[in-house]
Structure 1
Amino acid sequence: MTATTTRWLLDVNVLLAVTWPKHMHHALARQWFRAVPRRAWASCCVTQLGFVRLSSSVQFTADAVTPPQAANLLQRWCQRTDHVWVPDLPLEEVPVFASPVLIGHRQVTDAYLLGLAEHHGLKLATLDRGLRQLGLDTAPGTVEWIGAAA
């Protein structure tokens, strides 16, 4: 990776939006995904498991697939040359967990992804407003909000 190349860890919501054509943010996510030359993106165990779990849920999409089918779809995306795998970290190596800003159970996965991105020198791309705010409060410059202007 060169000094001019930024890599993005895709939050689950971005990964879903990019890959599922009927997702409400599909066009927005695809436009963002293509906007930067030599886009380099990353996934990790947490985001991949979230993708498989939600892609196989009829509560997420009427077009839900089986977990093996979702894993196969994800595997095809991850075989792209612009994808990198991000290894997990032990909890004690994620500094955001020591932050007083982290106050609720719904922030736990977001905080982990934020810490993982920061540790590996990545930006965390998200459509989640709460995650955007958590990033501003704990790791400025780490989160990239790709949602429509609010």
Structure 2
Amino acid sequence: MTKALSKARPLLLDVNALLALGWSNHPFHDAVLERLDHSPSQRWATCLLTELGFVRLSSNATVVNVRQSPAEAIELLRRLTADERHLYCDILPTLASVRTTFKPLLGHQQVTDAYLVAVAAANDATLLTLDQRLVSTVVGGDRVEALLPKRVH
């Protein structure tokens, strides 16, 4: 029997949050797991952009400390997204339609993040990120939830 899923907005994981979920050696792995387990009936999501980023970075041994092919990274992603709580965000807005999201950006490194906020809004989701700065630098910051690192005592 499946559990009833929450009516709360799903969490669209950005690439770094998705990497943290998939790789137990990632410094935020436990934090992302705890966040998803905090509301076990809340759905979590990916989109084309986050999945491509996951495969690209998971195939880079410098990033994940494991040598793995893109095909192996896709298989890991398939296992992650087999979770009954997973949702695929398939509404991808055009850049022209989300230009206001980009107005407050400080530079080129925030372009993908701003677009992911727009994807989250278009799919009635909240972007889950590891980048605390993103909350205050994009239009639609109410659609962003940033995880803070756990303090080691």
- TM interval, short-chain normalised: 0.7 to 0.9
Equivalent pairs: percent with the same residue? Answer: 34
Change (3 A) 1:64 1:134: farther
Aligned to 2:93: 89
Match of 1:66 among 62, 66, 69: 69
User: Quick check: 2:128–2:147 contact (8 Å CA) kept in 1?
Assistant: yes
Aligned to 2:12: 9
Q: Distance in 2 between matches of 1:22 and 1:149?
A: 15
TM-score for both structures, normalised by structure 1: 0.88
Change (3 A) 1:2 1:40: closer
Q: Structure 2: 5+ residue runs without aligned partners?
A: none
Change (3 A) 1:61 1:97: same
1:38 aligns with 2:10: no
Q: Structure 1: 5+ residue runs without aligned partners?
A: none
Matched residue of 1:94: which SS? helix
TM-score for both structures, normalised by structure 2: 0.86
Q: CA RMSD in A?
A: 2.1
Give the 5 Å matches for 1:1-150: 4-87=7-90, 88-97=92-101, 99=103, 101-135=104-138, 138-148=139-149
Q: Distance in 1 between matches of 2:52 and 2:149?
A: 26
Q: Distance in 2 between matches of 1:55 and 1:44?
A: 16
Aligned residues, how many?
A: 147
Q: CA deviation at 1:7?
A: 0.5
